[in-house]
DNA sequence: GAACTGCATTTTGTATGCAATATCCAAGAT
DNA sequence: ATCTTGGATATTGCATACAAAATGCAGTTC
């Protein structure tokens, strides 16, 4: 066999830990500003500190946590100005990706978007509570499915990075208002434009979707700011 | 004293290791595709594998290395298409940052740019060899100094990420041709536009600078492809 | 001669142990 | 009463040890 051809697809423990901690931050289980005590987090995940200590630097590189030397890692806490900047970055990258994605999309890409959208409209996912996490998981897959067809891995990585940083706050807002209907409506308009292949309309709707999310968020934020340092 | 106010500024070993490995990749000491055997790298840096194993995930998050599970980390090797994409990303982010930086720049920002430019014109730095590393270090500081004044940390981080990924290849090109004069000339034009505060001209020159670098690189690349896998 | 099998070596993956430092709380001084 | 100081505790930082897996080579078989 040719050297370097690995047969077994093995997911390293540090990577599993990375995903679990990341999800916990995204859904607010670890709140902005909260210190992450390594022994406690590792114990909760049933691993030792070693793999955790390899997962945390990745989260730090993405800006999800910050390291206070000799004090530990804390979940990143963003002020409204930074959240605004991240929305700008998201919009900038989405516009660029949207252009290429519409051009290069194929039939199966459209089908995938429609399938995800159908899953998301399940009323069970729309009620407030734990099921919201399911909706947000689908929401991320929906946005990915719209923008992945154009390729551009590095743009996508930058976008997912920026989006992840603001996601905890977006989830806070939807938990407060409990209203996903506007998002749902905008999604279906976006999916239509994607299916039709109208690049101008698609870009525009994607942009408006982000702008609307930002507006709602920055209005609701002051009330949601329970940021333990 | 208020809790959480750290007096001593302590640079953790994993961070020092991160910077050293990163520099080694940027200047080609670790070539694209090369496997990084942990014991060897750690020994070379005079540390154990622990801090190295916390530095590597950070580099992985930035795309500088890739992890092949149970085989080890390797320096990322980019094909021309990806390099092209990264230039697009760089140009997109630079344009956005340039706008704000010109608007918000202050006298000391202009002075800093001029000072760095002066240092870079030192003939000792322009000769081929080890001193090139000094020139590239200044080059990065120059670009940062131009774009930092606008704030926008997250845009900047994304830009520095994208720039770092293509830097090994840019260095290869300049090592082949040995010619930094075009870059130097473009830099002085850019610095002038920045000093004057002409946003259109500044953005345009910044863009052309990147475009020219890309063109030279993608022409020279086929000859420089000694990519040991 | 080519391909396969099995063992020895190398390298990664994870846990654990110990030292260094920060935090916390109580007791004393100003 | 407030501020300081001391020590006990908790937590991080780093190194080391051990287990698991992949690689490379030799010997064997067809």
Residue B215, judged by CB atoms within 10 A of its CB (0-12, 13-18, 19+), counts as: exposed
Least trusted range by pLDDT, from A48-62, B91-105, B129-143: B129-143
> Does the pLDDT of residue B4 top 50, yes or no?
no
Name the residue closest to C13, CA to C1': B70
- Which candidate in A61, A66, A100, A160 is best for mutational testing of the B interface (most B CBs within 10 A)? A61
Per-chain mean pLDDT for chain B: 90
Q: Does A124 touch chain B (CB under 8 A)?
A: no
Find the mean pLDDT for residues A122-144: 88
Find the mean pLDDT for residues B99-120: 95
A172 neighbors A224 (Cβ within 8 angstroms): yes
Predicted pLDDT at A6: 40
> Does the pLDDT of residue B227 top 60, yes or no?
no
Q: Which residues of B touch A61 (CB under 8 A)?
A: 57-58, 61-62
Predicted pLDDT at A118: 94
Q: List bases, strand D, within 7 Å of protein CB.
A: 10-17, 21-24
Predicted pLDDT at A4: 39
Find the mean pLDDT for residues A144-154: 96
> Does the pLDDT of residue A130 top 90, yes or no?
no
CA distances from A131 to A33, A61, A124, A175 (A): 25, 29, 7, 11
Q: Which residues of A touch B67 (CB under 8 A)?
A: 12
What distance in Å separates residue A46's CA from the closest CA in chain B?
A: 20
Find the mean pLDDT for residues B14-27: 95
Residue A121, judged by CB atoms within 10 A of its CB (0-12, 13-18, 19+), counts as: middle
pLDDT tens, position by position, B43-63: 999 999 999 999 999 999 999
Find the mean pLDDT for residues A194-216: 96
CA-nearest residue of chain A to B61?
A: A58
Find the mean pLDDT for residues A198-224: 92
What distance in Å separates residue A162's CA from the closest CA in chain B?
A: 8
Distance A40 CA to C12 C1' (A): 26
Find the mean pLDDT for residues A31-38: 94
Strand D and A11 CB separated by under 7 Å = no
Per-chain mean pLDDT for chain A: 90
Q: How far apart are CA A56 and CA B218, in angstroms?
A: 36
> Does the pLDDT of residue B7 top 60, yes or no?
no
Distance A50 CA to D14 C1' (A): 11
pLDDT tens, position by position, A69-113: 999 999 999 999 999 999 999 999 999 999 999 999 999 999 999
Find the mean pLDDT for residues A155-174: 96
- Which candidate in B12, B52, B61 is best for mutational testing of the A interface (most A CBs within 10 A)? B61
Position with higher pLDDT, A115 vs B177? A115
Residues 6+ apart with CB under 8 A from A202: A98, A102, A190, A193, A194
**pTM of the full structure:** 0.91
Q: Which residues of B touch A53 (CB under 8 A)?
A: 54
CB atoms under 10 Å from CB of B79, counted, come to: 11
Distance A71 CA to C27 C1' (A): 27
CA distances from B87 to A206, B6, B94, B161, B174 (A): 24, 40, 10, 12, 17
Predicted pLDDT at A128: 78
Distance A97 CA to D18 C1' (A): 48
Least trusted range by pLDDT, from A87-101, B3-17, B106-120, B158-172: B3-17
> Does the pLDDT of residue A1 top 90, yes or no?
no
Instruction: Give the confidence band of B225 by pLDDT, cuts at 50, 70, 90.
Output: low
Q: Does A62 touch chain B (CB under 8 A)?
A: yes
> Does the pLDDT of residue A227 top 70, yes or no?
no
High-pLDDT (> 70) share of chain A, %: 93
Q: Does A108 touch chain B (CB under 8 A)?
A: no
Strand D and A35 CB separated by under 7 Å = yes
Q: Does B51 touch chain A (CB under 8 A)?
A: no
Measured CA to C1', the nucleotide nearest A56 is D12
If contacts are CB pairs under 8 Å, which of residues 133-162 in chain A contact chain B? 151-155, 157-158, 161-162
Q: What share of chain B is helix, strand, coil (3-state, %, to 5)?
A: 70, 5, 25
């Amino acid at each position: 066999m040719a050297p370097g051809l690995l047969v077994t697809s093995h997911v390293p423990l540090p990577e599993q830990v990375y995903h679990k901690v990341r999800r916990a931050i995204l859904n607010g289980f670890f709140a902005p500003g909260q210190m992450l005590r390594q022994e406690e987090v590792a114990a909760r995940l049933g691993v030792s500190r070693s793999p955790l200590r390899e997962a945390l630097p990745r989260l730090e590189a993405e800006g999800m946590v910050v390291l206070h030397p000799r004090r530990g890692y804390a979940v990143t806490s963003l002020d409204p100005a930074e959240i605004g900047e991240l929305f700008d970055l998201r919009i900038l990258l989405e516009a660029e990706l949207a252009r290429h994605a519409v051009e290069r999309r194929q039939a199966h890409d459209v089908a995938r978007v429609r399938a995800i959208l159908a899953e998301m409209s399940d009323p069970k996912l729309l009620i407030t509570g734990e099921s919201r996490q399911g909706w947000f998981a689908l929401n991320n897959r929906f946005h990915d499915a719209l923008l992945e067809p154009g390729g551009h891995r590095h743009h996508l990585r930058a976008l997912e990075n920026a989006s992840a940083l603001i996601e905890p706050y977006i989830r806070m807002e939807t938990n407060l208002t409990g209203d996903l209907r506007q998002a749902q409506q905008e999604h279906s308009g976006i999916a239509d434009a994607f299916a039709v292949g109208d690049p101008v309309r698609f870009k525009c709707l994607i942009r408006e979707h982000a702008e609307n999310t930002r507006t709602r968020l920055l209005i609701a934020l002051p009330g949601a700011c329970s940021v333990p340092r």
